[in-house]
Chain A
Amino acid sequence: MIRNTRMKRFSIVSAVATVGALVFSTLPAQAATPGVSAKEIKLGYSGPLTGSAGLVYGKLPGAMKAYFDHINANGGVYGRKIKLVSRDDKYLPTLAATQTTNLVLNDKVFALVGALGTATHSKAYTAAQLAKNNVPDLFVNTGFSGFANKEKYPTTFTILPSYAMEAKIMAKFIKDTPTLAPQASFLIAQDDEFGVDGVNGFALAGHKFTAAPTLYPQGALTPALAEGALTKLSVVPGKPVLVLFGTTDSTATILKAAEKLSLTTKFNWIAGSVGGDANTLLALGVKPSTINGALAASFFPDAKDATDPYVSEFMEINSKYNKGVSFDNVVLQGMNSAMLTVQALRAAGKNLTRAGLISAIESKGADFASAGLVPLNYSGTSRVGYNGYWFGQLNEKGELKPFGGKLSIYTTDSSSNSAPTASSYERKPVPKNGVPTNS
């Protein structure tokens, strides 16, 4: 006998349990439409909740859930309450693949909403067989233009304008602005699909930077590196344009390095839409005087602008259902996607099916109400959501006001080198009480 009988028991029990679990856990017969019952619609989210990416994007599912709670308190969608299941993938492709598969096979969600990350979601999409099971993949939270490819991702709808679009519009803005055009220009970007997409976008627009872009490994931009980069650029004459294409923490690190070296007024700062979140920058210790005058691209209204009807509506929902979480661009984005999701579910009708949801967005999605100040482009042939940007200037309070006083929206695409065009898009008014009533 094994001397340690406890060990032996443990081994036997665990072996039996394993075999038993494997043998007896066959799935029950598939429901007609998974994730939909008379009372409930189950949606799934896979993204980083912990880890360094979780620090930046962790607020997203909570914001979506808060909006869904608000809708549930107001009758739900044709009487069905929305339940959001979120799973943590720590921004790792392996976890994203297994968690998304879990969402589809284990939690049996009706659709995915807001999946985050390019390297992560592209793996998860195939691994979880979303195409084969026709699982709608709504409003993915990434600016990677590849997700709008209908052949590769038949059930996916993007929402964010791609990084390439952002770069093209930035390039046009630099060219059209007399104070910026003659200056030398430089780019500091994150060394992943985020930054590289941006680099490609500038290339498409024909913009040549004065020096090759500085690419830093994601999450590894130390103050030392930032100080070195800025010191190198400090000898360039004039007031060079410095484009920062990275997350808020990296943008903050660079700005704080500029403060240390007294270089804050040396450059014309242009922050990308992701890193230009003034609320977060100030919270990370950047001085108000530093961001004063910095330029940033955005497609949303300023998250600090309580006079904007969408922002104020979302702020109210946030304080009621998402207590303790400060309202910023990430929360705004989450609630906006949630509102679009509700409209899509309504448009698909009371007899809710996955195919029905997809065609509802194709036919009616372009007319949905959303906080974005740029148009939505869903159609039978296009899976592209927002496709434009406006340029603003930050002030000391961290408010983003339209550059030159007037809001100018430009739209473009991700892959051609045709110049962005001005748009006179006016968004739909916010639904009363933030509850859509479309059909």
Chain B
Amino acid sequence: MVKISTNRKRTLAFVLLGWVLLIISDRVGELRQYQGSFVAMYALAIASIILLTGYSGQLSLGHSALMAVGAYAGALSINNLKLHPALALIVAALIAGIFGLLLGFTVARLSGPYLAGTTLALAVSLPTVANQFPILGGEQGIIFDIGTPPSRFGEDFSQYKWFFWISALAALISIWMLSNLLASRYGRVFRALRDNSVAAQLSGINVGRLKAIAFSISSGIAGLAGGLLVMLISGVSPSAFPLSLSFALLTGAVVTGVYNLKGVMLGGLVLVAIPEIAESVVSRIGGSEGFTTTLPGFMVSALLILAVLFTPNGPGQLLHHHKKKH
């Protein structure tokens, strides 16, 4: 048997996944393509949480704000700088990453709940700031137009499929790069930070700098996800990044395993599918208006609690253990 390095194996797995998604995207209807784009986007955002929390042990309640930074950067570069949309997405990731680096250095000394509180305050205040500067479009926001699919794909190539291709490709490439990073020395260093920062420091690791780096990379990924989000809703506005988005990302990360990246696609799927399932169940069983309005929220929350109770480390963690045993 030819010995393939784990890095090559990983690359092959991603390429294979990419082909599978490509084929699937051809067979499903527009609605599923659109939902699939959201799954990819959420999966990417959840990956940023896994890097930050699962690997470097920092809890952030404010990733919605980081997504917003990327989103606005991307929208502005399309509208004001007239950049190509692909470049705009890269700009989104870069600007968010720089912002995250600055933020990361600022909060490097903070632990657990103090970091959580700071990121929470960031999450609620950043959207308000966006409202202040006319260049950011105020409440109505700025349009983000990724453009129509290239004409060589033919008439039948729907806009939703185009969204899906872009979303999935961006997510695949980024998550592949991230998993390479985490399999390397950096991944071990991050985990050392998480598990015992005193020991890490004693062995020569500059804890503050590495925490900031982790924060920066995580923010960059979140910024890219933010750019994808506003591509999907065709515009950015402050209200697209509420605090509940931060919480949704955390939930997705917990439900699918915060320790490694294997579960992110499932996490994205959970975030998109569970509200839909709840709503269709409710519309089927009907009932009084008060009932049908409040039941979806109830079901979503209940399902999430069950998920936390029964898979607190995510199915990914269990699969990982299984592999190790052999």
What residues make up the interface of A, taking CB atoms closer than 8 Å to B? 1-4, 7, 10-11, 14, 18-19, 22-23, 25-27, 49-50, 54, 58, 62, 87-88, 91-94, 96-98, 101-102, 105-106, 118-120, 122-124, 126-127, 129, 132, 144, 146, 191-193, 196, 217-218
B239:A2 contact, CB within 8 angstroms = no
Pick the contact of B239 from A98, A101, A106, A119 — CB < 8 Å?
Answer: A119
> Chain A residues near B100 (CB, 8 Å)?
none
**Known: A22-B28, A87-B279. Contact between A118 and B140, CB under 8 A?**
yes
B269:A27 contact, CB within 8 angstroms = no
Residue B31, interface by CB 8 Å: yes
> Chain B residues near A196 (CB, 8 Å)?
138-139
Within the complex, what minimum Cβ distance (angstroms) separates A287 from chain B? Answer: 30
Interface bracket on B: 35 or more
A27:B29 contact, CB within 8 angstroms = yes
Within 8 A of A (CB), among B127-171: 128, 131, 138-141, 143, 159
How far is A50 from B139 in the complex, measured between Cα atoms in Å?
20
A193:B138 contact, CB within 8 angstroms = yes
Within the complex, what minimum Cβ distance (angstroms) separates B24 from chain A? Answer: 5
Within the complex, what minimum Cβ distance (angstroms) separates B17 from chain A? Answer: 12
Residue B233, interface by CB 8 Å: yes
Residue B220, interface by CB 8 Å: no
Pick the contact of A192 from B138, B143, B266, B289 — CB < 8 Å?
Answer: B138
Question: Chain A: interface secondary structure?
Answer: helix
A58:B293 contact, CB within 8 angstroms = yes
Within 8 A of A (CB), among B11-35: 24, 27-32, 34-35
Task: Convert B102-141 into 0s and 1s, putting 1 for each residue whose CB lies closer than 8 angstroms to a CB of A.
Answer: 0000000000000000000000000010010000001111
B235:A193 contact, CB within 8 angstroms = no
> Chain A residues near B289 (CB, 8 Å)?
62
Pick the contact of A92 from B35, B242, B315 — CB < 8 Å?
Answer: B242
Chain B: CB-nearest residue to A144: B140
**Known: A7-B311, A22-B36. Contact between A119 and B140, CB under 8 A?**
yes
A11:B319 contact, CB within 8 angstroms = yes
Residue B234, interface by CB 8 Å: yes
How far is A193 from B36 in the complex, measured between Cα atoms in Å?
32
Question: Chain B: interface secondary structure?
Answer: helix
- Looking at B38, B143, B235, B276, the one whose CB has the most chain A CB atoms below 10 A away is B235
How far is A94 from B235 in the complex, measured between Cα atoms in Å?
10
Task: Convert B294-318 into 0s and 1s, putting 1 for each residue whose CB lies closer than 8 angstroms to a CB of A.
Answer: 1011000000000000010001001
Within the complex, what minimum Cβ distance (angstroms) separates A423 from chain B? Answer: 30
Within the complex, what minimum Cβ distance (angstroms) separates A406 from chain B? Answer: 38
Within the complex, what minimum Cβ distance (angstroms) separates B298 from chain A? Answer: 11
Within the complex, what minimum Cβ distance (angstroms) separates B108 from chain A? Answer: 31
How far is A276 from B7 in the complex, measured between Cα atoms in Å?
65
**Known: A10-B315, A50-B297. Contact between A93 and B131, CB under 8 A?**
no
B232:A25 contact, CB within 8 angstroms = no
Within the complex, what minimum Cβ distance (angstroms) separates B34 from chain A? Answer: 6
- Looking at A3, A92, A96, A123, the one whose CB has the most chain B CB atoms below 10 A away is A123
> Chain B residues near A146 (CB, 8 Å)?
140
A119:B29 contact, CB within 8 angstroms = no
B29:A26 contact, CB within 8 angstroms = yes
How far is A4 from B310 in the complex, measured between Cα atoms in Å?
12
How far is A344 from B310 in the complex, measured between Cα atoms in Å?
53
**Known: A7-B318, A50-B294, A105-B34. Contact between A122 and B29, CB under 8 A?**
no
How far is A94 from B131 in the complex, measured between Cα atoms in Å?
18
A25:B34 contact, CB within 8 angstroms = no
The 25 sampled A-B contact pairs (Cβ below 8 Å) are A4-B318, A18-B269, A22-B24, A23-B24, A26-B29, A27-B30, A91-B239, A92-B239, A92-B242, A101-B34, A102-B31, A105-B31, A105-B34, A106-B31, A119-B239, A123-B237, A124-B233, A127-B233, A127-B234, A129-B159, A146-B140, A191-B139, A192-B138, A193-B139, A196-B139
Within 8 A of A (CB), among B217-273: 229, 232-235, 237, 239-240, 242, 245, 266, 269
> Chain A residues near B3 (CB, 8 Å)?
none
B232:A49 contact, CB within 8 angstroms = no
Residue B8, interface by CB 8 Å: no
Residue B322, interface by CB 8 Å: yes
Chain A: CB-nearest residue to B141: A119
Chain A: CB-nearest residue to B38: A98
How far is A14 from B274 in the complex, measured between Cα atoms in Å?
13
B232:A127 contact, CB within 8 angstroms = yes
Within the complex, what minimum Cβ distance (angstroms) separates B44 from chain A? Answer: 15
Chain A: CB-nearest residue to B296: A88
> Chain A residues near B128 (CB, 8 Å)?
217
A118:B28 contact, CB within 8 angstroms = no
Within the complex, what minimum Cβ distance (angstroms) separates A107 from chain B? Answer: 9
Pick the contact of A23 from B28, B293, B294, B296 — CB < 8 Å?
Answer: B28
Pick the contact of B240 from A11, A14, A25, A92 — CB < 8 Å?
Answer: A92
A93:B322 contact, CB within 8 angstroms = no
> Chain A residues near B229 (CB, 8 Å)?
94
> Chain A residues near B30 (CB, 8 Å)?
27, 105
> Chain B residues near A4 (CB, 8 Å)?
318
> Chain A residues near B28 (CB, 8 Å)?
22-23, 25-26
> Chain A residues near B266 (CB, 8 Å)?
14
Within the complex, what minimum Cβ distance (angstroms) separates B47 from chain A? Answer: 18
> Chain A residues near B32 (CB, 8 Å)?
22, 25
> Chain B residues near A144 (CB, 8 Å)?
140
How far is A98 from B42 in the complex, measured between Cα atoms in Å?
14
Chain B: CB-nearest residue to A196: B138
A119:B297 contact, CB within 8 angstroms = no
**Known: A11-B315, A118-B140. Contact between A26 and B27, CB under 8 A?**
yes
> Chain B residues near A123 (CB, 8 Å)?
141, 233-235, 237, 240
